[in-house]
Amino acid sequence: MRKILKLSEIAKERQKDLKVLRDSQRAIFLSKKRVISMDTKLLKSYEEIADLLSSDLIGEQLTGLQSLWNVAEVETRKNEISEEFLSSGLLSKAIMKLNDVPYNVQSTILNIMINISAVDNGTHFLVALGCINSLDICIRKKTPAQKQAMFCLTNIVTSNKTPKNEENKEIVDNVIENAFSMMKESPSEAVYWLCRCGDFYQSIENGNEFFQIKISDYSKEIFEHLLDFIEERNAGDIANILSLYLYLPNYISQLFLQNVLPLFFEEYNKVPKLVLSLLELLELYSAGILNGLYITTCADWMCNSLSYYNKNGCSKFKDLLFLIVKSSEHHPEFFEFMNFSVFAMCDLLIEDQNVDIDRRTMLAKFVLKCLYSQRLLSIMSELPSFFVMLQAIISLSDFLFSQFVEILSEFARSNRLVFTKDFFENIAKISQKYHLTTKTQLELQTLFQMFSF
């Protein structure tokens, strides 16, 4: 009984919306044979278009649809459907007949709806016209226009403007079901639809878990299509399926990483960034299987990958370095994989004035932390500009200067590193720009006395 009441309420709301559209003052104005000009395209008043769409003759219907297409094209170009078009009721006639017309007519109607669904206020308009039921019927009939109907329905129910309620969740679940039924014949489109459904589930409480459960039976099939997309080198499809995996961390495996990590070096649009996003996702896990994968499979690969920076200097390698540094804070095991390339790039970026000061400071703190390790200190000391890098670090802030003096005092007592007179003279110059704490001043004086500088 409750379900009947719910449907009744929905019907009343729809009738209410349609009444507002019909009774609009703009609609009355437009009914007076107003002619809409579409550059050199057909000139048809809304009333004439409506007459053609209502005709029993296919030829006249097609002429009306062409005119409607022209009107809709102008509307969507503005990225907002005008009140005139909303009030005209033109599209409602086409939607009502969507499943009772030949394919060529149906296809044109759907293309118009797809374009409108991509506009800010277009989804609300289409929902008010009752299009969801018509689209659902079209999809279930498995007509030649099934793909177009899926695109349109997906656009509507996953729009930011669409409420994330139980009713729309059921529609999204139908889209997921239909996407998998079409995946074998249309893998590219199916993956795109699933990505959009993932966006919807992200917006609801515990959505990630629900989404993973929804598609758990198809994880093997999704992975097979990933391998196919990689083999075909189709950047758009690869990007879509990697976006899908951002919602499916539990399906990331060693085999997945072995196939996906090399894509980081490709020049595909968006793909390297998505590989990085997957690594950032794995970085969040500090326990369990995914943490194990991140340490055993990703850490070594990430550090070694920086050796390609000199050949392919670009932002994606910088972002990878920052992720490595961040990972070392949450995953101490990462220090075991630090190599010369990591510190060479730290040296490069710490001295780069174009890099954000917060990021340079983050790298500086990381380098100072690594100085405590004899193995990492040995690697860093091989840098031609090692001492220059240290001077750049202590020039960033008084905090870093004080921290370095503390480390230096420990080194002096253990003879772990030999410093030159020039290096100490530079430290003395840099110290003059800071208001140092008493502790740091005393440590610095002791160092100068120890080395007789």
Reported as a single tens digit per residue, the pLDDT across 423-448 is: 788 888 888 888 888 888 888 888 77
Task: Decide if 124 is inside a domain.
Answer: yes
Distances (CA, A) of 191 to 151, 271, 273, 372: 12, 15, 19, 48
Q: Is the pLDDT of residue 298 over 70?
A: yes
Q: Is the pLDDT of residue 75 over 90?
A: no
Task: Decide if 72 is inside a domain.
Answer: yes
Number of domains within the chain: 1
Looking at the DSSP assignment, which residues form a beta bridge with residue 36?
44
Helix (H, G, I), strand (E, B) or coil at 45: strand
Q: Residue 357: pLDDT band by 50, 70, 90 thresholds?
A: very high
Task: Decide if 382 is inside a domain.
Answer: no
Q: Residue 29: pLDDT band by 50, 70, 90 thresholds?
A: very low
| Mean pLDDT, the chain, whole residue set | 85
Task: Decide if 119 is inside a domain.
Answer: yes
Task: Decide if 429 is inside a domain.
Answer: no
Mean pLDDT of 336-343: 96
CATH code of the domain in which 68 resides: 1.25.10.10
Task: Give residue 102's identity as a one-letter amino acid code.
Answer: P
Task: Decide if 34 is inside a domain.
Answer: yes
Task: Decide if 65 is inside a domain.
Answer: yes
pLDDT at 268: 84
pLDDT at 320: 96
Of 393 and 129, the structure prediction assigns the larger pLDDT to 393
pLDDT at 167: 86
Helix (H, G, I), strand (E, B) or coil at 35: strand
Rounded to whole angstroms, how far apart are CA atoms 187 and 201? 21
Task: Decide if 5 is inside a domain.
Answer: yes
What tokens appear for 113 in the block? 């709806």
Q: Is the pLDDT of residue 126 over 50?
A: yes
What tokens appear for 444 in the block? 């610095």
Q: Residue 70: pLDDT band by 50, 70, 90 thresholds?
A: confident
Q: Which domain holds residue 106?
A: 1-162
Rounded to whole angstroms, how far apart are CA atoms 339 and 407? 21
Distances (CA, A) of 225 to 187, 244, 382, 385: 7, 12, 46, 47
pLDDT at 324: 97
Q: Residue 10: pLDDT band by 50, 70, 90 thresholds?
A: low
What tokens appear for 246 in the block? 């951002």
The closest alpha carbon to 280, from 234, 238, 230, 331, belongs to 331
Q: Is the pLDDT of residue 40 over 80?
A: no
pTM greater than 0.85: no
Q: Is the pLDDT of residue 34 over 80?
A: no
Mean pLDDT of 365-371: 95
Looking at the DSSP assignment, which residues form a beta bridge with residue 19?
none
pLDDT in tens, 166-196: 888 998 999 999 999 999 999 999 999 999 9
Looking at the DSSP assignment, which residues form a beta bridge with residue 45?
35
| Pick from 222-226, 322-326, 437-441: least confident | 437-441
- Cα radius of gyration rounded to whole Å, the chain: 31
pLDDT at 301: 97
Cβ atoms of residues 169 and 148 within 8 Å: no
Helix (H, G, I), strand (E, B) or coil at 120: coil
